[in-house]
Amino acid sequence: MHPSKLELLKGNKIIIGISEVSKITGISTRQLRYWEKKGYIHSVDRSKRFREFSLDTVIKIEHMKDLLEEGFTLVAAYEKVDKKMKLFKKMKHLFINNYEGIIELEDGKAAIDFGYFNANEEEHLYFIFDESTDKSYFQAGNINNKK
């Protein structure tokens, strides 16, 4: 019922100009424009005066850059990343739709609440992680039932 705490990510509403994208990814503005022309990436609204890229696209660009550095051709990198992005989007969707918040535990650990663990809606699934030891694990139960 309550809105997701990850609205910004949910709608992919984080938009970045070509100059910033270039700085972030290390891909020149010339390349970015070329990649778009070839259809490897898309800007948000081409009817606008200036190009803007979504956060997902920036991530796509970073993946392509990595593959390029590994020796793949531009086309090969694009095809490979395009498949991976579909999985990435599904994963993002899954995470965003199940994320119920983050909880600080007494012992210095933190827990991400992923919502109900089973169909009975009795227990939640938590991802527990301890920064001091760098250890993490999943746990079912009810850590912090507010109210």
Interaction site with DNA (CB under 7 A): 17-20, 28-31, 33-34, 49-51, 68, 74
Which is nearer to DNA, 19 or 142 (by Cβ)?
Answer: 19
Dig out the tokens for 133 from the structure: 């030891």
In degrees and rounded to multiples of 5, residue 102 shows phi and psi of -120, 140
- The nearest distance, CB 95 to DNA, in angstroms, is 31
- Closest approach of Cβ 11 to DNA, in Å? 22
Environment class of 101 (CB within 10 Å of its CB; exposed 0-12, middle 13-18, buried 19+): middle
Residue 43 C-beta: closest distance to DNA, Å? 7
User: Nearer to DNA by C-beta: 80 or 109?
Assistant: 80
